[in-house]
A and B are shown apart, each in its own frame.
Chain A
Amino acid sequence: MATTTDAIAKVRQEFPFLRRKVHGGLPLTYFDNAAMTPVPSIVQQRLASYYQSDTANIHRGLYYVSVEATRQYEDARKRVQKFINAKHCDEIIFMPGTTIALNLLAQAISAQFAATSNNDSEKTEIILTTMEHHSNIVPWQLQTNLCIKYLPMLANGELDLDALPQLISSKTKLISLVHASNSIGTINPLPEILQLCKAHGLITIVDAAQSVGHMPVDVQTLDCDYLVFSSHKIYAPTGVGVLYGKQDMLKQLPVVSGGGGSIKQVDLDKTSFLPPPAKFEAGTPNISGVLGLDSALEFLMNNDLPQLWQHEQDLLSYATAALQEIDGVRIIGTARQKVSILSFVIAGIHPHDIGTLLDFEGIAVRASHHCTHPTMKHFKVPATVRAAFSFFNTTAEVDLLVKAVSKAIHTFR
């Protein structure tokens, strides 16, 4: 087995983006991987190849190129199935992203609740957590027949599991929660949480946008009903996401967005739908993006993922220790289990000023509320500076970050 240093040096070569310069000549140090990951060459080549020689719409095309494009698109579905260990490839639905997938679930499931409710005035209760991304709060708030209960966080940014049993009542029908927090990195103990929720018959939804690509995610082991993630956070193009749903759940889930490609028969007064996944993929999908995702997963699966993921954890520990050494730095979110996301604030300097000063050194971080207002409120900060590491980052790059943070503090002193 190659040493980690060799493996990282080799994997970095696959990302041309990492060689670009900023501000007229500075090397780029890219730490915004929780927002967007760059794509390896193999993904760029796949996009180019689709638009160069495989350009055709999928399904129902009777000619050679369309049949070929359809085969590639369906092969991508099988690759995703393998990557998250789904039982059937029909359980993989391609979406434009995590946000749209969660909106689809919120609309379809609340419609299901409304159809089965025998008391119109009584709201169905669902459970979310206070560490959710806005994308897993707003879609549920938009459903008027739901009452949302929130599982709170502890001071360190872990969920307060002791509070969970009290939140579940006979009216509770669903839990939707994040696997790993995008703003503070916490990895939630899903097996424990899901087991309790399933024992009470709750529908279980996992937002895996920040976990897939940074740790093993196996939907059969998790035994969740639905799981969603985005392609642009796992080294693939923007505009694609995956909705995984158990076969029997997807069969019963109503269609909320119909159109071409999803139907069996359309009459002027009624429509019958195809089985999943087609039922939920109305309209021409992002074909090139899905093929790009296929190549990104191929790239990941051809690497020694446990070694790369261990390197991400090592970077997290190294950066956490180094930043903690600096006077005035406060790490936001100190859960025991974290993905390689490090959020921090500095006494007396607004995160946006830090973000700008780091940019002047060629370092790309995100300084923001990270679409998690409730999480920011919990830690009583308006925003944080977030460095999100990928396996292609190095300890030398972390050293640059640490040096730039010290320099920023000096500028403001």
Chain B
Amino acid sequence: MEEHRHSLYQQVILEHNRSPQNFWVMNDCTHRSEGLNPICGDHIWVYLDANDNKIHRLSFTGEGCAICKASASIMTCHLQGKSITAAKSAAKDFHALAQGNVSDSDDRKRFGKLIVFATIHRYPARVKCATLAWHTLLGALSNAGTVSTENTE
């Protein structure tokens, strides 16, 4: 199963898991949200310093599996300096990518390093690990407080 091993645990993912980028608590953030994946126990916080439709800084902290941490780390790199509108649109794109709804003929360049998650849909049990950071980002932008990958009462 070496093919699976290499498709899910690509070097980029292992590196971001080992040394996550933008992994710190932003005390002076303008937006933040807590993200929970009750099935796995992944638990992260996403922080933003954003105004006038621009994300100046983005960071995250928390605990989770390699897929969850690498996804959050790559997301923070990808969105640094982008507009809030662009971030929301990227979140929509990422969900499509993680669900396997982006075809080979689509423009895949827009995903940058996020493209390492293009095969995650083959591992249904791990899709939510990859999307948690993005759920949490959207939660922060809408001031949702805590978001969860599962609906709770």
Contact = CB atoms under 8 A, between A and B. Distances in A.
B40 A411 contact: no
A353 B67 contact: yes
Contacts of B68: 350
Contacts of B4: 23, 360
A412 interface: yes
Contact of A352 (B1, B5, B43, B129): B129
Given A356-B126, A382-B41, A411 B5 contact: yes
Interface string A347-369: 00111110011001110000001
Contacts, number: 45
Nearest to B37: A352
Contacts of A43: none
B14 A26 contact: no
Contacts of A26: 1
Interface in A1-52: 23, 26
B64 interface: yes
Contact of B1 (A23, A349, A412): A23
Contacts of A350: 64-66, 68
Contact of B8 (A356, A362, A382, A383): A356
A381 B79 CA distance: 31
Contacts of A383: 40-41
Interface string A322-356: 00000000000000000000000000011111001
Interface in B50-77: 63-68
A376 B66 CA distance: 20
Contact of B9 (A357, A362, A369): A357
A126 to B, nearest CB: 25
A412 B66 contact: yes
A interface residue count range (under 10 / 10 to 19 / 20 to 34 / 35 or more)? 10 to 19
B126 A369 contact: no
Contact of A382 (B17, B43, B67, B126): B43
Nearest to B5: A360
Given A411-B9, A411-B14, A360 B1 contact: yes
Contacts of A382: 40-41, 43, 63
A26 B65 CA distance: 25
B63 A349 contact: no
Nearest to A383: B41
A353 B1 contact: no
Which of A26, A351, A360 is packed against the most chain B CB atoms within 10 Å? A360
Nearest to A369: B41
Interface string B122-147: 01011001000000000000000000
Contacts of B65: 350-353
Nearest to B39: A368
A360 B64 CA distance: 20
Which of B1, B14, B68 is packed against the most chain A CB atoms within 10 Å? B1
Contacts of B41: 369, 376, 382-383
A369 B4 CA distance: 25
A353 B43 contact: no
Interface string B95-130: 000000000000000000000000000010110010
Contacts of A352: 40, 65, 67, 126, 129
Interface string A371-389: 0000010000011000000
Contacts of B1: 23, 26, 360-362
Contact of B66 (A23, A353, A360): A353
A352 B42 CA distance: 10
B5 to A, nearest CB: 5
A224 B66 CA distance: 45
B49 to A, nearest CB: 29
A364 B25 CA distance: 37
Contacts of B126: 352, 356
Nearest to B68: A350
Nearest to B38: A369
A289 to B, nearest CB: 27
Given A352-B129, A353-B66, 5 more contacts: A26-B1, A352-B67, A352-B126, A411-B9, A412-B66
- What are the nearest 3 A-B pairs in CB distance? A350-B65, A360-B1, A382-B41
Interface of B: 1, 4-5, 8-9, 14, 17-18, 40-41, 43, 63-68, 123, 125-126, 129
